[in-house]
Structure 1
């Protein structure tokens, strides 16, 4: 008879199902029918633990190949930057010399790894901040757009998670797949950006030869009127991204009041919605170009 040493309330985190069965802590029937969520093959967690991406990272680390390193947006998420959604694949890199088997729900990439690239974490390894950032920027297989990865980089720079000069040195002599894109992303980055979508808008514009400066303050004399997400100063065109929160509560009224005061100083606003940014960014660019052309 299995012991009661691991009663339901005594499981505080992920565990390998076959191990607890072999040790007599649960029967297979208890494992299948008990209050446990199976997150990966043979890996479970007690119900009641929030099913978020961080839990999936803690679970996946138990079953990935030896030497695998948690990295990319997954590692950033466990370090406090919620870049990954719950069911996004958990990202790992594995040393070039090691073979590995695919694991459903993960994204494993073979690459060159140095000892300075990772540190111990839980039952495995996690990438250092510079390595996390490089893998976010270089991994094209996950189909993140170039503006998106620049937005993620802006967030890490703004928070002080990494230093831009240190990242430049780190990338300088590497030859990893995607390293050219990583260097270009660093050249496009700006830690003044206050949101990922704002960064994405700025990068889309720059890719089409429109330079927009982030977080520009507007004054009437000495009176502060407001801060613009993005500004094209020579045309006095302000480009702002309105996410869902701009439609809540008092925010629409506050936005309208601020914009009216700034428009009185000769500025024109182009307001970008989530649907426009992600469904048709080129139409967004054309709209901004038209606004600029009409004022120069």
Structure 2
């Protein structure tokens, strides 16, 4: 049964790349030979957890989300679920109820991930940034509009409006490039002229969450924040 990130991609959530392994679930006791390109999870499967698809089976939305969340790092699980919720691929109340009644290994973290998901993030990295900051005790506002004179001039990934600080993912993985400040210098100049500071988080910086958080704390405190560029 195709499940997890792979099932989400089939259903329209762009959360993985073509070269990523295919996430499958097989019944307990079933033997599956090791092979490149498959990520296998053994678990009890019930008839309501899958439907026919192509030459195999595709996980139901609820089962897909269970396998997205269980046994994965919290920021990654939240980021993927954000995109599933953004596209309304699963009923949120049904998902909450299902997780409440499960006792799988890792279910506590899965419930925490569901509670942190908001379903409005523009990209997977944006969600990962937000979760790292929330776990560090910061409370950024996601998908914040910066306005000047009542006119919207920029939609930023994360913001601390009271400090006029925006945090933007500086990469290509976005669902909406129209408002990307790293690509639009005119808009960036407008944002800065309005008194806002912008911290750009690269893929390199996102891989070191503690350093990313320190830079954003420094920016919130009014100290210079360094932009780390890709090698």
TM-score (norm 1): 0.67
2:197 to 268, 276, 281: 268
**1:75 pairs with 2:10:** no
Q: Secondary structure at the match of 1:113?
A: coil
Q: How does 1:1-296 map to 2 (within 5 A)?
A: 69-96=1-28, 98-105=29-36, 106-140=38-72, 145-244=73-172, 255-278=184-207, 280-294=208-222
Residue deviations 1:140-196 (CA, integer Å, cap 9, x gap)? 4xxxx3212211111110111113222111211001122111111111111121111
Cα distance in 2 for residues equivalent to 1:101 and 1:244: 36
Q: Secondary structure at the match of 1:70?
A: coil
Cα distance in 1 for residues equivalent to 2:116 and 2:96: 12
Q: Report the CA distance shift for 1:265/1:175 in structure 2 as closer, same or farther (over 3 A).
A: same
Cα distance in 2 for residues equivalent to 1:139 and 1:208: 21
Cα distance in 2 for residues equivalent to 1:267 and 1:253: 15
Q: Report the CA distance shift for 1:95/1:207 in structure 2 as closer, same or farther (over 3 A).
A: same
Residue deviations 1:27-57 (CA, integer Å, cap 9, x gap)? xxxxxxxxxxxxxxxxxxxxxxxxxxxxxxx
Residue deviations 1:58-94 (CA, integer Å, cap 9, x gap)? xxxxxxxxxxx22111222222334343343322222
Cα distance in 2 for residues equivalent to 1:93 and 1:187: 24
CA RMSD of aligned residues (A): 2.3
Q: Secondary structure at the match of 2:184?
A: helix
Residue deviations 1:84-134 (CA, integer Å, cap 9, x gap)? 4334332222223x3323331322222122222111223332210111111
Higher relative contact order (CA 8 A, sep 6+): 2
Counting matched residue pairs gives 218
Match of 2:227 in 1: none
Cα distance in 2 for residues equivalent to 1:176 and 1:135: 11
Q: Specify every segment of 5 or more residues in structure 1 that has no aligned partner in the other structure, as ranges.
A: 1-68
The structural deviation recorded for 1:259 is 2.5
Q: Report the CA distance shift for 1:108/1:215 in structure 2 as closer, same or farther (over 3 A).
A: same
Q: Report the CA distance shift for 1:139/1:245 in structure 2 as closer, same or farther (over 3 A).
A: closer
Match of 1:28 in 2: none
Are 1:102 and 1:108, in contact at CA under 8 Å, matched by a contact in 2?
A: no
**Rg bigger for which structure?**
1
Cα distance in 2 for residues equivalent to 1:102 and 1:119: 24
TM-score (norm 2): 0.85
